[in-house]
Amino acid sequence: MIYFILTVYSLVLASFLHVVGMNYPLRKPFLRRISSECDYCGEKLLTIHLLPVVSFILLKGRTGCCNQSMSWSYFIVEILAPIFVCILYKVYGLENSFYLYIFIFSLLLILYVSDIFYLHIPNLILFLYFISCASYYGYVDFTLLLQHTYQLILGIIVFIGIYLFVRKGFGFGDIKLLILLCFFFEF
Ligand SMILES: [Zn+2]
């Protein structure tokens, strides 16, 4: 039963995060929008077309309104997210690590979408995740926040160094993300 609940929640979460990743870099409003719209023609989507995975299969990967081919990334994300969340639950139960990894996973999902569609890593999203995580660490234990701040400083030195000296293959978006991950994880 718990796996069923986790699957449903992670499907809803993953498709919401996909929408964030698709819309935020274009500064399209998405939070206050009650109904969802087609990415191509802007027509309101029917409820049946909003079901994750199911609608993709029913419509054979095309939009119901204007028959454009839908991006496979919806399907891939919606299949992989529940698998990943269930594995996390199997390994960690409902310990703190479970929530931390879901938190990091949600960030990576948004960035994956905005990166493959627009080659863009939005600073505000990174900042919001940083502030949320820093507040959580500070709330739990101030020394924990300090320890993660040291890691952040170390991350800045190492990855800015790599960026300046190695350069090849790294965009600055990658560097920002790697530095932030130094802050999130245990040393
Ligand atoms: Zn359409």
Question: How many angstroms does the Cα of residue 37 sit away from the middle of ligand 1?
Answer: 8
pLDDT at 170: 76
Confidence of residue 8 (pLDDT cuts 50, 70, 90): very high
pLDDT at 92: 94
Using H for helix, E for strand and C for coil, what is the string for the chain?
CHHHHHHHHHHHHHHHHHHHHHHHHHCCCCCCCCCCECCCCCCECCHHHHCCCHHHHHCCCECCCCCCECCHHHHHHHHHHHHHHHHHHHHHCCCHHHHHHHHHHHHHHHHHHHHHHHCCCCHHHHHHHHHHHHHHHHHHCHHHHHHHHHHHHHHHHHHHHHHHHCCCCCCHHHHHHHHHHHHHCCC
Provide the mean pLDDT of the chain. 88
When pLDDT is averaged across residues 179-186 and rounded to a whole number, the result is 91
- Condensed to tens digits (0 to 9), the pLDDT of residues 126-181 reads 999 999 999 999 999 999 999 999 999 999 999 999 888 887 777 888 899 999 99
Confidence of residue 74 (pLDDT cuts 50, 70, 90): confident
Question: How many angstroms does the Cα of residue 66 sit away from the middle of ligand 1?
Answer: 4
Question: How many angstroms does the Cα of residue 29 sit away from the middle of ligand 1?
Answer: 18
Question: How many angstroms does the Cα of residue 107 sit away from the middle of ligand 1?
Answer: 28
Question: How many angstroms does the Cα of residue 74 sit away from the middle of ligand 1?
Answer: 15
Task: Identify the residue with better confidence: 11 or 29.
Answer: 11
- Condensed to tens digits (0 to 9), the pLDDT of residues 33-49 reads 556 778 788 888 888 78
pLDDT at 182: 94
pLDDT at 34: 52
Tell me the pTM.
0.86
Question: How many angstroms does the Cα of residue 59 sit away from the middle of ligand 1?
Answer: 12
Ligand 1 ion: residues within 5 Å (CB): 38, 40-41, 43, 63, 65-66
Residue 187 predicted with pLDDT over 70: no
Question: How many angstroms does the Cα of residue 43 sit away from the middle of ligand 1?
Answer: 6
Question: How many angstroms does the Cα of residue 41 sit away from the middle of ligand 1?
Answer: 4
